[in-house]
Amino acid sequence: MTSQKDKTAKLANSLWGGRFAAGPAEIMEKINASIDFDKILYAQDIRGSKAHCAMLMAQDIISSEDGNKILTGLDQVQTEIEAGNFTYDAKLEDIHMHVESRLSEIIGDAAGRLHTARSRNDQVATDFKLWVRDAMDEMDNALKALQIALVTKAEQHAHVILPGFTHLQSAQPITFGHHMLAYFEMFTRDRDRLRDARGRLNECPLGAAALAGTSFPIDRFQTAQSLKFRTPTANSLDSVSDRDFALEFMACAAISATHVSRLAEEIVIWSSAQFNFIQLSDKYTTGSSIMPQKRNPDAAELCRAKVGRIIGDLNSLLIVMKGLPLAYSKDMQEDKEATFDAANAFALIIAAMTGMIDDMKLHENVMHASTQNGFITATDLADWLVRVLDMPFRKAHHVTGTLVAMAEKKGCDLDGLTLAEMQTVDANITQDVFCVLDVESSVASRTSFGGTAPEQVLLQVKAARDRIE
């Protein structure tokens, strides 16, 4: 009696063709098999096979009887996989051979007609594109949720004042709403990049076969339309050897993840005892096994760390692809693990960051008090000298710098200097200068488009909500 193992080996060889009389070495099976990770493509594989089958029937390449058997059998395969009643075997290499093998068990010889006019090369390219396209849509929705969280926080705290930094040194006072909207802009560009990449991806490789197309009278436009691609790919060689869509997907993820990391870094800084600008609840922090007072911003730190993983995944596939001749090489099997890993990591950090933005509690008084350090209204003083005294800006900059040095020596902020002390630097300075030295006046004056004034922030919040869609 023939064992199941022998049947599986025989089937694997039959799928490769009569060229092989014996099975592969054990190590070859291990290095060649991809089923452990590509089984998540089952829905895309079955969807592509259904579209291909429907086209073969429409073109009278296979009979309606066989085609309908195939379609019914594919439905059963999908049901078994989703119910967890499906057996995987490394000898069948990948999800494509698993589906075909099980289909053969269900409907018999008719299953062998499904692979007419296609190759695993165009099949896997199509399945992978479908998966990446779905992942792009999920990424876009996740980024949209994060944008909504940022805009909501910006609106709630449009008037809250904190120091704005350059070089992590106090620079000028800004509003918290303005700060949140800066990240909104970053994630808006991320969504734009993603949709731009999705447009390029949306061409169907199915029908390119191994590399040269096929002599069967297929209708590639039918399969493209069925799978909701914009059009078939234009060159069969490129169709099976292209992985730009995966690279662009990971590049979009890497750039966006970098923005997440920058925000995560600020959350780590802001939640430290030295800053104490914000507090995260127990939902997004952990404690210490030895220091009972600790509240660690681990969610933010892990967001920051996983970015390196996503960038590494992108780099990995770039290195795989850089030396490959046309058309398909087995190296390209390494495309999926990196892409799947990047997608999973990105989904985690976006969800975590969205949760942290919703969760964070602001210590508004601490933020405001922090603006009293670092001569944060020095630029307002320089602007006043230009505007009121008609002083050239370079001279105003020098005068202001001299006054800063004077205040630093005295141990006070700029508004701690007396008018008489200021007039030792420039006799034309008047009492009115003190009107621009408080942070509320500074923030309120920044009314240029995109500025930090609360009225501008609220206008930008309204515009942001319109742009989110």
Residue 361 has φ and ψ, to the nearest 5°, of -105, 130
Contact partners, residue 177, CB within 8 Å, separation at least 6 = 153, 154, 155, 156, 157, 158, 159, 160, 454, 457, 458, 461
Q: Longest C-alpha distance within the chain, in Å?
A: 109
3-state secondary structure of 361: strand
How far from each other are the two terminal CA atoms of the chain, in whole angstroms? 63
244-270 helix and 176-201 helix, angle to the nearest 10 degrees: 170
Rounded CA separation 64/66 (Å): 6
Cβ(302)–Cβ(352) below 8 Å:
yes
Torsions phi, psi for 267 (to 5 deg): -65, -40
Please state, in angstroms and rounded to a whole number, the distance separating the CA atoms of residues 441 and 410: 24
Q: Give per-residue burial for 127-160: e unless 16+ CB within 10 Å, then b.
A: bbbbbbbebbeebeebbbbbbbbbbebbbebbbb
Q: Judging by DSSP bridges, how do beta strands 169-175 and 161-166 pair with one another?
A: antiparallel
| Catalytic positions, written as ranges | 167, 288
Token representation of residue 205: 């490789």
Residue 9 in tokens = 């080996």
- Inter-residue contact 227 to 204 (CB < 8 Å): yes
Q: How far does Cα 169 stand from its chain's mean position? A: 30
Q: Measured between alpha carbons, how far is residue 276 from residues 38, 295, 350, 367, 392 in Å? A: 46, 12, 24, 8, 39
